[in-house]
Amino acid sequence: MHRLLLVFLANLCAFPFSTGDYSMIEVYGIPVTYKSVNESPELNWKQCIQFCWNTPLCVLAFNKKADGCQWFVHDNITTVKQMKKANGYIVAFKINATSNTCPAGTNPPTFNNKSITGSATLYYWEILYGVRFNYTISLANDRWTFTFNYKFACPSFQFAFVQRANALDYCFLLGLQNVAKNQASAQTLCAMYNRSVLTGVTTLGELNNVKSMMQTNRELLVSRDYLVRVDGKRTTSCQATPTTKICMSSKGFTFTDPLANTVDAYTWATNSGARATATSDCIVLVLKGNQPIVADVQSCNTDNPLPSLSFMCGQPAWNY
């Protein structure tokens, strides 16, 4: 996708000067229906367009002549009246870019009177939350009308929102049960959370978020010391040689979540080759007393020193 500045005054179309995923299209018009407006009188018109372009929630900039730059955010602007050059009022719409060339047609930005779309995605990493704002612009009776909607990154607020090591937006949760669960049960329970899968962590940031949630969940469970089941089961071929280099790597385990098929983000109690019993083939996170939270390879069944009362489920964001 390309981030463009497109100008359609007197049929002039400028060349793109940056990259990204949206465009600013400048036409003659004036806002007529809106809830509130933001003013930046210190900005000239070119700076005003640039400012709106770089501000995620800005959808429209307006050149109010002597009063300078005005700009409108998502859901605050409803209609814009189409004007003539003689009136002198200019607006710039932000829309989703579809190519790196100037579109053709009448009545831009709704070329040939076809509706267009725009969007913005906001990430609130400090509260593990994300939301995507979408809008459609349509033209009728010389007026452009904005229609707005939004979508949360995750299907419910039970999920936390993160960005994985591969830059994928992702949702995860720690399910809780006051009865110990084996690995197979954890996978089944995850599917009940909006068809999630058992997952693990891919970055230190994710791991730290999970650790914080584990500490909080202590107050909700029958035992303050417990295990969290995560994705990762030792392969059959590595059960006899768990401490070999390949078996201690991600290749030594199978994963149900292809987006979390790694063991590299964990801090281990000993190492990923641990196998205390004949069934110690599943990765867990261990919370015990005031000790640091660590990963271990323990029984896939329920015969572990601590009860497995939690399980980590996940799914890609935005896709529910």
Which of 272, 280, 174 lies closest to 228, judged by CA? 174
Q: Which residues contact 251 (CB under 8 A, 6 or more apart)?
A: 235
Task: Provide, rounded to the nearest whole percent, the portion of the chain with pLDDT above 70.
Answer: 91
Q: Are 173 and 279 within one domain?
A: yes
152: pLDDT strictly greater than 60:
yes
Q: Are 181 and 81 within one domain?
A: no
Query: What pLDDT was estimated at residue 115?
Result: 87
Which token pair is 1? Answer: 């996708």
Mean per-residue pLDDT, 211-230: 95
Q: Are 137 and 179 within one domain?
A: no
**Interval 45-97: pLDDT, tens:** 999 999 999 998 999 999 977 668 999 999 999 999 999 887 889 999 999 87
Give the predicted TM-score (pTM) of the model: 0.78
**CA–CA separation, 315 and 213 (whole Å):** 18
Expressed as residue numbers, the domain containing 66 is: 4-152
Query: What pLDDT was estimated at residue 64?
Result: 79
Q: Are 167 and 296 within one domain?
A: yes
Q: Which of 107, 127, 152 is the last residue of a domain?
A: 152
- Cis before 109 (ω within 30): yes
User: Degrees (nearest 5) of the Cα angle 312, 316, 319?
Assistant: 130
Q: Are 91 and 139 within one domain?
A: yes
Q: Are 102 and 213 within one domain?
A: no
Q: Are 205 and 223 within one domain?
A: yes
Q: Are 284 and 195 within one domain?
A: yes
Q: Are 168 and 147 within one domain?
A: no
- Per the structure, the count of domains in the chain is 2
**CA–CA separation, 97 and 143 (whole Å):** 22
Q: Which of 129, 152, 175 is the last residue of a domain?
A: 152
24: pLDDT strictly greater than 80:
yes
Query: What pLDDT was estimated at residue 78?
Result: 96
- Give the mean pLDDT of the chain: 89
Task: Give the CATH number for residue 224.
Answer: 3.10.100.10
Q: Are 166 and 296 within one domain?
A: yes
**CA–CA separation, 101 and 96 (whole Å):** 13
Query: What are the CA-CA distances from residue 15 to residues 90, 108, 253 (Å)?
Result: 19, 16, 51
**CA–CA separation, 176 and 284 (whole Å):** 14
H/E stretch holding 73 = strand 69-73
**CA–CA separation, 194 and 18 (whole Å):** 39
- Enumerate long-range contacts of 208-216, CB under 8 Å, 24 or more apart: 209/128, 209/160, 209/162, 210/172, 210/174, 210/285, 210/312, 211/285, 211/293, 213/160, 213/174, 214/174, 214/285, 214/287, 214/293, 214/310, 215/287
18: pLDDT strictly greater than 70:
no
Q: Are 116 and 181 within one domain?
A: no
Query: What pLDDT was estimated at residue 34?
Result: 97
4: pLDDT strictly greater than 60:
no
Confidence of residue 102 (pLDDT cuts 50, 70, 90): low
Q: Are 197 and 260 within one domain?
A: yes
Residue 302 sits at φ, ψ, to 5 deg, of -105, 15
Q: Which of 152, 183, 202 is the last residue of a domain?
A: 152
